[in-house]
Amino acid sequence: MRCRQSGCPGRYADDGFCDECGHKAGAGPDSRTRVAARGSLGANLVEVPPVPLRDPLTAVQANPSVPERNRYCSRCGEPVGRAQPEGFCPLDGTPFSFVPRLRPGDVVAGRYEILGALAHGGVGWVYLARDRNISSTGVERWVVLKGLIDTSDPDAISSAISERRFLVEVDHPTIVKIHDFVQHPDPASGRLVGYIVMEYVGGRTLKELGRLPLPQVIAYGLEVLPALGYLHSRGLLFCDFKPDNVIHAEEQLKLIDLGGVRRIDDHDSVMFGTPGYQAPELATAGPSIGSDLFTVGRTLAVLSFDFAGFTTRYAGRLPDPADVELFRREESYYRFLHRATHPDVRRRFSSAGEMAEQLLGVLREVLAAADGKPRPAGPVRFTPERQVFGSADGELVGMQVATALPVPLVDTTDPAAGFLAAMSAATVDALRAAPQQTREVRLQLVRALVDAGDTSGAADELWSLPDDGTDWRLTWFAGLITLAAGRPGDARAQFDAVYWAVPGEPAAQLGRAVAAELTGDRATAAHHYERVWLVDRGFLSAAFGLARMRLAVGDRAGALTVLDEVPETSSQQVAAQIAAVRGGLDHRPGVLTSTDLLKASTRLERMRLDTRREATLAVEMFQTALRWLGRGVPPPVDGQMLGHGLTERELRFGLERNYRILAGLENDQRLRREIVDHANEVRPWTFL
C-alpha cells in the first residue's frame, strides 16, 4: 500500500512503516518518527541491549580528515599524502585527495543536500544528506551518499551505475535500503563521480561497540547470516563484510555498505576486501559464497576476543586455543570459527543457512553451560539417539553403542527420500531391493549392515561411495563401523573429524565422548557428556555417561545430581534412580558412611519398583552395609535402612528376608535352592 504521507513515494512495509519516510500506517499526518519493531536478535535466546538511535547531525565530522597512516595510492597501494592531503603519487603519478569533495550545502543531482562527511571508506568519503524531494513535504528523510566509482570516463560511470541498478531491488530487513544512483561533477576537476544513495541508519557500528560477550557476538552472527543468504539466493555477493559495515540501531541490525556487492558470475568488476577479514583466495580465485562466509567468521572472531595481529600475524589463521582462553572454554565455538575460516574454501560451510544452523547450536551450548538451563532443539542434522546406552551395569560394548548412537538424517532432496520415509523397516534386504540405489539408500544400507553386525560388509559399502572429502556423514558412519568392530581409537578420530564439521551438533560430541571413554580418556569423555547433557536432556546416554565419569573420580554427589536430572517423564527415570542407589554406595574403604546408607535407603523406598528389582537392590545394599560394618565398630546410628537398624543382627535379618523374596520369584529350581542356601547362611543365630 502506498504511503499516505503527502509527497512521499514510498510504500508501507510488512512492519507497518513506510520504507521511504518512516510514517506509520494508520497514524496521523504528524506521526513521522519511526519506532523500530522489536528485533529477534539471538533467535530469542539472548537479550541484546538496544543501541539508541543517533541524531544524524551529531554523526557528521566537524573537521573531516584521514589519518596519514591510512593514506595510500589507489593504484599501486604505496603510502602517499604523508605531508599533504592532496597531490600525486610519486611512483605512478596517480592523483590523490583525502579532503572531502563535497561540502555542506552542496546539492547532488538537484536533490540531495550535503550536510557533512560521516567517514572515509575504501573508495572515498561517505556523506550525510537531506533528501529535498521528501523534506519539502515537511518530512525529513536522511540519506547517505557514498562514492561508487572514481573515473574520468563518463561512459564507465554510466555503465557502473547501470550494472548496480539491481541493488535497488534488494529488499531485506537487515540490509540497508538503496534509494538511488546518481552522478555529480567533482567540484575541483569537473569530472563526473558516481554515488550510491542509501538510507541513513542511526546507531553504532559493531566496530564502535568493540569486543562483546560471546552470546551477543553470536546473536549478531545469527542476524547477518540470513541477510547474506538472501543476497546469495539472488546471485549476489557482499564481498566486504566487516564490523564497520554493520550497524546496531535500537533492536535491529543493518548491513550498511553495499558498495562492494557484485554478481556471483561477475569476474571483471573491481574486487573489494579488507586485510584481516578477506579470504586468502580472493586475489587468485575471486570472491565466492565461501569467501563471504569467511569474512563473517573473521568478524565474529574480532568481536569476541582480543584478536591482536589479526591483520598481520594471524591474517590467514586463528590463534592457537592455548593462547585464547575463550577457545579453551568454548571448544565448539573455536571449531565453528575454524571451519568458517578454513584456508580451503571447500572445507568451509557450504551456505549461510548451514553456517547459521551450526552457529545456533553453538549458542545453545554456550548459554546452557553458563546457567545450567537446557536449550534443546529439534533434529537438525541427526536423528535422536536410537537407544540409551550405559544405563545398566557392565562395561560398554562397542557394537551396542554403535547401534544406539544417532545417525545422520536422510537428505530430503535425494530422489529416494520418499521411498526411505515410507519404509516400515529399513532392513538390509529391503534396502538392497530399493528401486533406486541412490546415495541416501546406500548410506542407510551401511547403517543397516552395522546394526546387523556385518561391519565388514558395511565398510565395503561405505568405501565404494564417492567421496570428495566434504561429506562428513561418511566419516560418521566410518566411526560407527570402527566402533562396532572394537576399534574405539579409530572411531574417536572419525567422530572428532565430524565434530570439526558440525560443531553445533550435540550428537557429534556424544560420539566423541563415548569413543574417548572407551579409549580410557575419562576427562575428555566427561567434558563432552556434560556439554551434551547441559544442552539437551533428550540425550539420556550422556547423563549415564557423565555419572560414570564422575563416579570414576569419586564425585558421588556430582553423579547423583546428574542422575536426578533425568526427567520423571522419561522411560529411563527408573534406570537413573537405580544407578543413583548403586552410585551412592561407595565401596572404597573408609569412604562409605552411615549417612550414605540411610540416603540410599530413602531413595530406594521412594521408588516404585517391581518386587524382583527392589529385592535385588536391597540385597546389594544389605551386603554393602555388612561389609561397612565389618571394617570397624562404628558409633551407634539412629535411623533404619529398609526397616532394619544398622547392626549386624538387623542387617542379616534384612538380607535373609530379601534373599527369600528372590527365591520365591525364581522358577529355576536349582537357582532357587542356591538362593535359599544364601538366605540360610546369612541368617543370624536365634533362640527358641
Contact 120, 66 (CB under 8 A): yes
Distances from the Cα of 426 to the Cα of 399, 430, 443, 448, angstroms: 19, 6, 11, 7
Helices (H), 519-584: 522-535, 540-552, 556-564, 573-583
DSSP 3-state of 349: coil
Question: Which whole-number Å values give the CA distances from 592 to 393, 461, 589, 597, 626, in the listed order?
Answer: 20, 52, 7, 8, 12
- Per DSSP, 205 falls in state E
Active-site position among 19, 131, 180, 240: 240
CA dihedral in degrees (174, 179, 180, 185; nearest 10)?
-90
User: 280 and 201 in contact (C-beta within 8 Å)?
Assistant: no
Cite the DSSP H helix spans in 609-686: 611-630, 648-665, 669-682
How many angstroms separate the Cα of 31 from the Cα of each of 18, 267, 668? 11, 47, 88
Say if CB 24 and CB 15 are below 8 A apart. no
Distance set, CA 667 to CA 620, 655, 656, 674, 675 (Å): 21, 21, 19, 12, 12
Q: What is the phi-psi region of residue 276: left when phi exceeds 0, alpha when psi lies from -120 to 50, beta otherwise?
A: left
As given in the structure block, the three cell numbers for residue 169 are 531491488
Q: What is the distance between the alpha carbons of residues 56 and 131, in angstroms, rounded to a whole number?
A: 13
What is residue 408's three-state secondary structure?
A: strand
Instruction: Record the cell numbers describing residue 237, joined without a space.
Output: 555477493
Residue 240 annotated among the catalytic residues of the structure: yes
Phi, psi (rounded to 5 degrees) for 12: -75, 130
Q: CA–CA separation, 51 vs 250, rounded Å?
A: 4
Q: Quick check: helix, strand or coil at residue 105? A: coil
Side-chain-side CA neighbours of 680 within 13 Å: the count stands at 6
What distance in Å separates the CA atoms of residue 360 and residue 380, rounded to the nearest whole number? Answer: 11
Helix, strand or coil for residue 428?
helix
| Amino acid code (one letter) for 596 | D
Supply the DSSP symbol for 346: G
d(CA 638, CA 634): 12
Query: Which residues, including other chains, have CB under 8 Å from residue 581's CB and lie 6 or more apart?
Result: 600, 603, 604, 607, 617, 621
Residues belonging to the active site: 240
